[in-house]
Structure 1
Amino acid sequence: MNIHVSAFRWVPPFAQGYVRDLRVRWALEEAGLPYEATLIDPDVQASEAYREWQPFGQVPAFRDDAVEIFESGAIVLYLAARSEALAPADEAGRARMMTWVISALNSIEPFVQNLVQLDVFHAGEAWTVERRPQAEAMLCKHLAALGAWLGEREFLEDRFTAGDLMMTMVLRELANTGLLERYANLGAYVRRCTDRPAFRRALEAQLKPFRENEPTAI
């Protein structure tokens, strides 16, 4: 099977290790599926040819011998349906896996992104002084619920699945906020999942072209 995943040739340091092709790379590494990264730059990103593959010009986009799809959640679910490394074989187990993938994207990520947008893209702007405590409070409400469910479990269910992969990728964006220290079991969960060899391989695969294509200072 020939698998291609689009990824950026280079991004600024603050985004390195967080671009969403990492979600797909990790899933592929867990599943033991070889792939080729199609590296794009802003010109390719804006091109008509790329927009036929990814209508919004984002990454990742995915193709294999059977499909062309985009959106990291959709791609991870597609791979999970084809690999027992990412999902249990039984129908109930697969349904729970899908529930956690969607939960990560719908119940947690929007609140994480609200905070990240304030801290990264609007840092220092006066209006954030009042808005940030509200955004943090809403996020913490959801983190508390997630932490209560996780409890002392190793994973969200009785084994690692694509649901854990997606939830971990969403939660690790809070690394510089102090919130993962506040919810200790969630912080331990993220560390446990990102210690997996497949994640380490995926992260290195994303970072390697960033090092190789670092702009030269003039």
Structure 2
Amino acid sequence: MSDITIWTYDWVPEGPRGFVRDLRLRWACEESGLRYRVKTVPFKDRQTNHLGQHPFGQVPMLCDGDIELFESGAGLLHIARKSEALMPGDERQAAKVVQWIVAALSSVEIVTIPWWYIEKAGPSENPLSGWMATRLDQLEAVLETREWLVSDRFTAADLLMADVLRDDKICDFGSRPATQAYVSRAVDRPAFQAAYDAQMEHFSSSSATD
């Protein structure tokens, strides 16, 4: 019996809708067939109004019974360990899933996020483009050899890696057909579409916040 609560903001501007990271946890629950509810903290004063739940004033947070977690990666790992839909039962393959989850966060997202913000600011040259190209080329070399990262099937590692890459600016940076096809396979999954639609509906039905 699942007792999962995903915490997110009550509202966000249109720009980040579809990319707020509670979507990672919604997607994981949809893939795993786990029921969940959504609760919110106010977007206004968000940096200080829920420090007891998240010491950095961000979202998402996850509650499952008496387990309380912050950070999307931690929540994703918790959900994945509840279902073989996202985490193989074989210990060696499960370890590889964890390996690629960590890689998505600490080897790929560590450059994609600052690169994206610099691109948004609009300088003529992005000083992180070389680093970004190297990391994406390295990942492209892996994805040219396989459909999914581990066990020849979709796992939590693919959920997170695809979410890190799916922004158009990132996915379209350079020509990497294997990576683009990989992201397309992931976001074409019904579970992603359900999670995405649920997040968009949540924020569009909320009242605007100053």
The verdict on a shared fold, with TM-score over 0.5 as the criterion, is yes
Question: What amino acid is the match of 2:142?
Answer: W
Q: Quickly say closer, same or farther: Cα 1:46–1:113, change in 2 above 3 A.
A: closer
**Which of 166, 181, 184 is the aligned partner of 1:188?**
181
Matched, 1:61 2:67: no
d(CA) in 2 for partners of 1:181 and 1:137?
A: 11
Match of 1:89 in 2: 89
d(CA) in 2 for partners of 1:208 and 1:52?
A: 27
The SS at the match of 2:34 is: coil
Kindly report which structure 2 residues correspond to 1:55-204, keeping only aligned pairs within 5 A, or say none.
55-120=55-120, 122-123=121-122, 128-130=123-125, 132=126, 134-157=127-150, 158-173=152-167, 175-177=168-170, 179=172, 182-204=175-197
d(CA) in 1 for partners of 2:81 and 2:162?
A: 19
d(CA) in 2 for partners of 1:7 and 1:168?
A: 21
**Unmatched segments (≥5 aa) in structure 2:** none
Stretches of 4+ aligned residues off by more than 4 angstroms: none
* Shift in Å, 1:215: 3.1
Question: What amino acid is the match of 2:74?
Answer: A
* Cα deviation 1:68-123 (Å, max 9, x = unaligned): 01100011111111110001101001000000000000000011012111122x23
* Shift in Å, 1:213: 2.0
Question: What amino acid is the match of 1:14?
Answer: G
The SS at the match of 1:100 is: helix
* Shift in Å, 1:42: 2.8
Which structure's residues are more often helix, by fraction? 1
TM-score, reference length from structure 2? 0.92
* Cα deviation 1:114-148 (Å, max 9, x = unaligned): 2111122x23xxxx334x0x311111101111110
Aligned-pair Cα RMSD in Å: 1.8
The SS at the match of 2:46 is: helix
Question: What amino acid is the match of 1:62?
Answer: L
d(CA) in 2 for partners of 1:213 and 1:51?
A: 23
Question: What amino acid is the match of 1:169?
Answer: D
The SS at the match of 2:51 is: helix
| Partners of 2:171 and 2:179 within 8 A in 1 | no
TM-score, reference length from structure 1? 0.88
* Shift in Å, 1:41: 1.7
d(CA) in 1 for partners of 2:179 and 2:43?
A: 36
| Partners of 1:180 and 1:187 within 8 A in 2 | no
Higher deviation after alignment, 205-214 or 58-67: 205-214
